[in-house]
Amino acid sequence: MDKDTAVSTARRLLKIRDSEQTRLDRIQRYLCGRHDSVYVPAGARAEYRWLIERAKVNILPLVVTVVAQNMYVDGYRPAGSDTNASPWAIWQANRMDARQHGIHRSVLSYGAAYAVVMPGKPVPVITPFSPRRMTALYADPVNDEWPIFAVEDRLENTAKGKRRVVRIYDDQARYTLAGQEDGSQLAPDGEQWLMRHDLGVCPVVRYINTEDLDGDGVVGEVEPLIDAQDQLNMTTFNLLMAQQYAAFRQRWVTGMAPPLDGDGNPIEPFRSRVDGLFVAEDADTKFGEFGQTDLKGYLDSRESTIRNMATLSQVPPYHLLGQMVNLSAEALAAARDGLDRKTDERESLCGEGHEQTLRLAGLAAGDSKAWEDTAAQVVWRDTSARSLAQTVDALGKLVTMLGVPPQELWEKIPGVTQTDVERWKTTAEQGDSLGRLNGIIEKQMTQPASAPRPIPDVAA
């Protein structure tokens, strides 16, 4: 791709990319708590607007966090092997043990995420991207494994201010362009604007939240809950208004002529407040108070909305409401059933993306065997909420009753990492070797010495 073609391709891809940014920016605003405001009448007082700013109970980040905290890739193994494949070293060198969480959160929040793999030294470089910074273009977005093009778009700080940096990826190279902050005057960025990778595929992997065979796009966990979040904010605002103006019992007075100001206009005789006391000198003056507003209806309505959000998101209600009283192990497992099934589906979809990334990392490292290994799978850490005693008891029964080798069950123990399992196996192998050596030595030491064989006579 020459310079003119790169610039025209960049402008075309940026135009395609702009069509989805409005939706993604709205999702990002809601995740950060910048929600659409409730209705504000004309001439609303400052107190009214003050309550609006505080009438937000942002549940959406928790919906993402509950699922994301159950997703952690702990290994990458070829079929029939209990050791990690060679691309796993590239994964760890790129700090993907920690950076994978950014991919998972982006997938859950926006519905998609991307990872770019480029050759490098000493190992290939894996770079995760949010869909707010990258867009991939597929000939068939449903069935194609690799995109035709991908565009990366970001603002970069310089000594002269901000500039816009756009990178185009295809199956042969990466093209870096730069221009003004508004995207104008895009041009190749210096002499190193072209970086060849010669991988034969566009080095971009797409992660998705749901599999959509219609090609209408993918949806994250946040967007379907935005209307429910607005409803929750409205109920919270009504609750605050009731607390501010109606929960405190308002007082009334009769039989009193209102005082007048300097212009002869009547003024309020008393300022109603919690620590105030009404006093009048006229014996005919009567005081009373209105009944207070019951807030229980508002509280129940808000709790009902949160329960609806829990149902729609398949997140157990106790995560969102903070209520977990006297739950048995069976009840807790039943409450987590929907979340566990949802997590399994997300792990299946994201797992394919991770496997594609690791294969591509093997290709970028020149490891053709790793690239051609389509049977290798990522290993997800077991994060289910189970009692350690019950788990160990169940695993012990698998060993004693079904004859499963104990070493094959170590990774099923909650909280045990792949590093722990490998260290245990190494220690066990060393223990077996030492045990065999000690057995040989002990056998040699305890066997009785054999009598010397007689020397035969030799005829003269």
Tell me the pLDDT band of 392, cut-offs 50, 70 and 90.
Answer: confident
Annotated domain spans of the chain: 3-222, 224-320, 386-442
Per-residue pLDDT at 133: 95
How far apart are the C-alpha atoms of 412 and 323, rounded to whole Å?
A: 29
pLDDT tens digits, one per residue of 403-440: 888 877 777 776 677 777 777 777 877 766 656 656 66
Per-residue pLDDT at 36: 92
Other C-beta atoms closer than 10 Å to the C-beta of 322 total 7
Place of tokens 């069950």: 409
Mean predicted confidence (pLDDT) in 325-342: 74
pTM comes to 0.79
Per-residue pLDDT at 123: 95
pLDDT at residue 453 tops 60:
no
How far apart are the C-alpha atoms of 232 and 128, rounded to whole Å?
A: 33
Question: Is the torsion defined by CA of 429, 380, 369, 365 positive or negative?
Answer: negative
| Reduced 3-state DSSP string for 113-172 | EEEEEECCCCCCEEEEECCCCEEEECCCCCCCCCCCEEEEEEEEEECCEEEEEEEEECCC
67 alpha-carbon distance from chain centroid = 7
pLDDT tens digits, one per residue of 169-197: 999 999 999 998 887 889 998 888 999 99
pLDDT at residue 332 tops 90:
no
Question: What three-state secondary structure class fits 40?
Answer: coil
Q: Which run of H or E residues covers position 206?
A: strand 204-208
Q: Where is pLDDT greater, at 232 or 48?
A: 232
Whole-number average pLDDT of the chain: 85
Tell me the pairing of strands 194-196 and 173-179.
Answer: antiparallel
pLDDT tens digits, one per residue of 92-146: 999 999 999 999 999 999 999 999 999 998 999 999 999 999 999 999 988 999 9
User: Which residues are within 8 A (CB) of 58 and not within 5 positions of it... i.e. 6 or more apart?
Assistant: 30, 33, 35, 229
Structure tokens at 355: 């496997």
Per-residue pLDDT at 460: 46
pLDDT at residue 162 tops 80:
yes
